[in-house]
Amino acid sequence: MKTAITELLNIEYPIFQGGMAWVAEHHLAAAVSNAGGLGILASGGAPCEHVREEIRKTKALTDRPFGVNVMLMNPEVDAIAHMLVEEGVQVVTTGAGSPEKYFPLWKEAGIKIIPVVASVALARRMEKFGCDAVIAEGCESGGHIGEATTMTLVPQVVRAVNIPVIAAGGIGDGHGVAAAFMLGAEGVQVGTRFLVADESQIHENYKERVIKAKDIDSQVTGRSTGHPIRVLRNPMTRTYLKMEAEGASFEELEVMTLGSLRRAVVEGDVKGGSLMAGQIAGLIDKRQSCKEIIEEMMTEAVDVMTAAAKRFQ
Ligand code: TUI
């Protein structure tokens, strides 16, 4: 399947694996790239040198294109931005802010820049600065989210810009891929389904919670602090949301969440950890390799699009 995104990045399938903090490390990213998608390493809140090592380990596992996600709230973001150039990274995605100050540096190095946006305004601004594509991420996504849904954000971004748009948020099977294309996207980004991939290194307990999750099992913490984060409900979210409703300060709430994603991913603490996951977790019911996930999603997408074309012709 050829789209503006497969052509731009020289990849086989228009599927990105989201750059999930603590989750998207070299085994996962390389497996996705080797399967024909775009694997993406996360920087999250990691130190620059750790991300550099991850890039080198990914290169050892794949010759295919892969990307690095820069989480713009990372305290070492400036160092990371320069390190990506030193390491010859070809594709950068960004999240949780505007990457405009790094555009000259990255463009000079020939890096493809694909920011994640949660609004039309930021999409327009990114296009003006010269990015190659944008990822329009709806609030069905796990982790740090904006306000608009994927269904409403994607067509509005598609209409507003002249660069390819990748849809993210709530896409977990071929029906979701087909829907994204119908909204005008040229590719999709998938996070939650890759959490449970065989190559995903997260703790078994976390995978089990994703597989058992039902449609309404995620909650958004931190709306009052301006840092809304979608996670699966657990005792931590119950306490957090209770404190938040009682008007707890940003500092009090921050103390609760500090290190909570690491506790979930590394220690498998499903009670006190942050089980970041999207609303599509309810649809995800099996463990597969990245290759199986990508091939199944693409086959299903083509099948449903073909069936729909026949029905409506
Ligand atoms: O970045 C994400 N998702 C993330 S990052 C993350 S790590 C983290 N942990 C704790 C606290 C904060 C982050 C977990 N999940 N998705 C991309 C995304 N970007 N979603 C929303 C945005 C966004 C929001 C506002 C991008 C830009 C923005 O405003 C920028 C501006 O200057 O207008």
Q: What is the pLDDT of residues 238-292, one digit of tens each?
A: 999 999 999 999 889 988 888 999 999 999 999 999 999 999 999 999 999 999 9
Output the pLDDT for position 72: 97
Closest to 40 (Cα-Cα) out of 12, 13, 69: 69
Cα(296) to centroid(ligand 1), Å: 29
Centre a 10 Å sphere on the Cβ of residue 300 and count the other Cβ atoms it contains: 16
Cα(266) to centroid(ligand 1), Å: 22
CB-CB contact of 164 with 16 (8 Å): no
Cα(1) to centroid(ligand 1), Å: 30
Closest to 309 (Cα-Cα) out of 182, 184, 183, 188: 182
Is residue 25 classed exposed, middle or buried when 0-12, 13-18 and 19+ CB atoms within 10 A define those classes? buried
Nearest CA to ligand 1 atom 8: 144
Extract the tokens encoding 70.
């820069």
Cα(95) to centroid(ligand 1), Å: 5
**Strands lying side by side in the sheet with 229-232:** 143-144, 229-232, 218-221
C-alpha distances in angstroms, 31 versus 57, 89, 289, 292?
12, 17, 8, 11
If pLDDT is split at 50, 70 and 90, which confidence band does 117 have?
very high
Cα(76) to centroid(ligand 1), Å: 16
Identify the bridge partners of residue 137 per DSSP, sorted by sequence position.
168
Q: Which tens digit of pLDDT belongs to each residue from 122-151?
A: 999 999 999 999 999 999 999 999 999 999
Is residue 59 classed exposed, middle or buried when 0-12, 13-18 and 19+ CB atoms within 10 A define those classes? middle
Instruction: Give the residue with greater pLDDT, 253 vs 55.
Output: 55
What is the CB < 6 Å shell around ligand 1? Answer: 21, 44, 71, 73, 95-98, 116, 118, 122, 137, 143-146, 227
pLDDT surpasses 90 at 96: yes
Nearest-atom index, ligand 1, CA of 142: 15
Residue ranges and CATH numbers for the domains of the chain are 4-201+285-311 (3.20.20.70), 214-276 (no CATH)
Nearest CA to ligand 1 atom 28: 97
Q: What is the pTM of this model?
A: 0.98
Nearest CA to ligand 1 atom 10: 144
Cα(273) to centroid(ligand 1), Å: 19
DSSP character at residue 100: G
pLDDT surpasses 90 at 220: yes
Nearest CA to ligand 1 atom 3: 144
Q: Which tens digit of pLDDT belongs to each residue from 184-206?
A: 999 999 999 999 999 999 999 99
φ, ψ for residue 54 (rounded to 5)? Answer: -60, -40
d(CA 112, CA 121): 21
Cα(250) to centroid(ligand 1), Å: 17
CB-CB contact of 60 with 28 (8 Å): no
Nearest-atom index, ligand 1, CA of 222: 11
Q: Mean pLDDT, to the nearest integer, of 68-75?
A: 97
Q: Which tens digit of pLDDT belongs to each residue from 295-309?
A: 999 999 999 999 999
Cα(263) to centroid(ligand 1), Å: 20
Output the pLDDT for position 256: 83
User: In whole numbers, what is the pLDDT of the chain averaged over residues?
Assistant: 97
Mutational test site, ligand 1, from 144, 218, 253, 258, max ligand atoms within 8 Å of CB: 144
CB-CB contact of 168 with 139 (8 Å): no
